[in-house]
A and B are shown apart, each in its own frame.
Chain A
Amino acid sequence: MIVRALFLVLMCFTPIWAVAQNGPLRIEITEGVIEPLPVAIPDLVPEGGATGDWGQRIARVVAEDLTGTGLFREIPSSAFISQVSSFAAPVQYADWKAINAQALVAGAVSVNGNQISVKFRLYDVFSGAELGEGLQLAGTTDAWRRIAHKMADVVYSRITGETGYFDSRVVFVSETGPKDSRRKRLAVMDYDGANIQYLTGSEDIVLAPRFSATGDRVLYTSYETGFPRIYVLDVGSVQRRVLESQQGTMSFAPRFAPNGQTVVYSLTQGANTDIWSMNIGSGQSQRLTSTPAIETAPSFSPDGSQIVFESDRSGTQQLYVMPAGGGEARRISFGEGRYGTPVWSPRGDLIAFTKQSKGRFHIGVMRTDGSEERLLTASFLDEGPTWSPNGRVIMFARETQGAAGRSTLYSVDISGRNLRPVRTPDGGSDPSWGPLQR
Chain B
Amino acid sequence: MKMKSSIVMICAALSLAACTDPARFGGGADGTDPSANTGGVVPGSASDPASPAYFQQAVGDRVLFAVDQSTLTAEGRATLDGQAVWLLQNADYTAVIEGHADEQGTREYNLALGARRADAARAYLVSQGVQARRLQVVSFGKERPIEVCSEEACYAKNRRAVTVLAGGLTS
Asked if A273 contacts B112 (CB within 8 A), the reply is yes
Asked if A252 contacts B1 (CB within 8 A), the reply is no
Distance of A296 Cα from B141 Cα, bound (Å): 13
Known: A310-B106, A403-B149. 17 other contacts (CB 8 A): A181-B21, A205-B143, A208-B107, A224-B1, A225-B3, A226-B4, A226-B7, A226-B138, A248-B136, A266-B112, A271-B70, A271-B123, A294-B109, A310-B109, A340-B105, A384-B107, A405-B103
Contacts of B112 in A (CB 8 A): 266, 268, 273, 294, 296
Asked if A294 contacts B113 (CB within 8 A), the reply is yes
Cβ of A130 within 8 Å of any chain B Cβ, yes or no, is no
Asked if A296 contacts B115 (CB within 8 A), the reply is no
The bracket for how many chain B residues form the interface is 35 or more
Please list 30 pairs of residues, one from A and one from B, whose beta carbons are closer than 8 Å in the complex, sorted by A's number. Answer: A180-B145, A180-B147, A180-B148, A181-B25, A182-B143, A205-B143, A225-B1, A228-B138, A228-B139, A250-B138, A252-B108, A266-B108, A268-B111, A268-B115, A268-B139, A270-B115, A270-B137, A271-B119, A271-B120, A271-B123, A273-B111, A294-B109, A294-B113, A294-B116, A296-B111, A312-B109, A341-B106, A354-B106, A402-B149, A403-B150
CB distance from A398 to the nearest CB of B (A): 13
Cβ of A124 within 8 Å of any chain B Cβ, yes or no, is no
Q: A208-B108, A384-B106 are in contact. Are A273 and B115 (CB under 8 A)?
A: yes
Cβ of B18 within 8 Å of any chain A Cβ, yes or no, is no
Distance of A364 Cα from B107 Cα, bound (Å): 17
Asked if A356 contacts B105 (CB within 8 A), the reply is yes
**Which of A179, A248, A252 contacts B111 (CB under 8 A)?**
A252
Asked if B119 contacts A270 (CB within 8 A), the reply is yes
**Which of A227, A312, A430 contacts B138 (CB under 8 A)?**
A227
Asked if B146 contacts A296 (CB within 8 A), the reply is no
Contacts of A356 in B (CB 8 A): 104-106
Contact with B along A387-417 (1 / 0, CB 8 A): 0000000000001011101000000000000
Asked if B3 contacts A226 (CB within 8 A), the reply is yes
Cβ of B144 within 8 Å of any chain A Cβ, yes or no, is yes
Cβ of A192 within 8 Å of any chain B Cβ, yes or no, is no
Point out residues on A near B: beta carbons under 8 Å. Answer: 178-182, 205, 207-208, 224-228, 248, 250, 252-253, 266, 268, 270-271, 273, 294, 296-297, 310, 312, 317, 340-341, 354, 356, 359, 380-381, 383-384, 399, 401-403, 405, 430
Contacts of A297 in B (CB 8 A): 106, 108-109
Contacts of B109 in A (CB 8 A): 294, 296-297, 310, 312, 317, 340
Cβ of B43 within 8 Å of any chain A Cβ, yes or no, is no
Contacts of B70 in A (CB 8 A): 271
Closest to B166 in A: A226
Cβ of B44 within 8 Å of any chain A Cβ, yes or no, is no
How many A-B contacts at CB < 8 Å in the complex? 112
Cβ of B129 within 8 Å of any chain A Cβ, yes or no, is no
CB distance from B106 to the nearest CB of A (A): 4
Distance of A273 Cα from B111 Cα, bound (Å): 9
CB distance from A295 to the nearest CB of B (A): 8
Contacts of A401 in B (CB 8 A): 150
Contacts of B82 in A (CB 8 A): none
Asked if A250 contacts B116 (CB within 8 A), the reply is no
CB within 8 Å of A: which of B1-28?
1, 3-4, 7, 21-22, 25-26
Asked if B103 contacts A383 (CB within 8 A), the reply is no
CB distance from B125 to the nearest CB of A (A): 13
Contacts of B25 in A (CB 8 A): 180-181
Distance of A181 Cα from B143 Cα, bound (Å): 9
Asked if A381 contacts B21 (CB within 8 A), the reply is no
Distance of A227 Cα from B2 Cα, bound (Å): 11
Distance of A380 Cα from B104 Cα, bound (Å): 9
Q: A225-B4, A228-B111 are in contact. Are A402 and B150 (CB under 8 A)?
A: yes
CB distance from B2 to the nearest CB of A (A): 8
Contacts of A359 in B (CB 8 A): 104
Closest to B150 in A: A401
CB distance from A305 to the nearest CB of B (A): 23
Contacts of B4 in A (CB 8 A): 225-226
**Which of B21, B103, B123, B138 contacts A399 (CB under 8 A)?**
B103
Distance of A359 Cα from B152 Cα, bound (Å): 12
CB distance from B99 to the nearest CB of A (A): 9
Contact with A along B115-138 (1 / 0, CB 8 A): 110011001000000000000111
Asked if A340 contacts B106 (CB within 8 A), the reply is yes
Closest to B117 in A: A271
CB distance from B13 to the nearest CB of A (A): 19
